[in-house]
Amino acid sequence: MSWLPKSPKARRRLWIVVAVAPVLALAVGLSLFAMRDSVTFFFSPSEATPEKAPAGRVVRLGGLVENGSVVRDPTTGDVAFSVTDNAASTRVVYRGDLPDLFREGQGIVAQGSFQPDRSFRATQVLAKHDENYMPREVAESLKAKGEWRPVEGPAT
């Protein structure tokens, strides 16, 4: 074979590379395949279409809690509220204790999945930390839509 190196040492190195390359490629491929479920995408209510965020897929939904939308069910412990980006609104249902800083008109990020009826079932709700903080994804989404109205300066 004329394409093989003439040196026995170089030929041995070539065979080692030829043997190791597929194993390494397989390992990288399997790692990427395994990590695909741990990636969580962020959407605002107007971006969360059935094509981008299908039912059952774990995503993050962020925006502002609509005023007057928080409804607590004392029998089941569910809390239902609407999240908006001032262009669209999505109904969110969460079971559990909400963060102390959760309130109407404030920015939140909810992690969970859309149901077949396009309501959002949250498994985790994150609220802002102080008066000047809004989750980065929410602030960027509101800025892109021209809805960002900071009280005192830009988002941190």
What is the C-alpha separation between 125 and 112, in angstroms, rounded?
9
Tell which residue, 126, 105, 129, 131, has the closest CA to residue 60: 126
On whether the CB atoms of residues 45 and 90 are closer than 8 A, the answer is yes
What is the C-alpha separation between 74 and 110, in angstroms, rounded?
21
Following CA atoms 20, 21, 23, 28 in sequence, which dihedral angle do they give, to the nearest 10 degrees?
Answer: 140
94 assigned ligand-binding residue:
no
- Residues annotated within the binding site are 129, 133
- Residues annotated within the binding site for heme are 129, 133
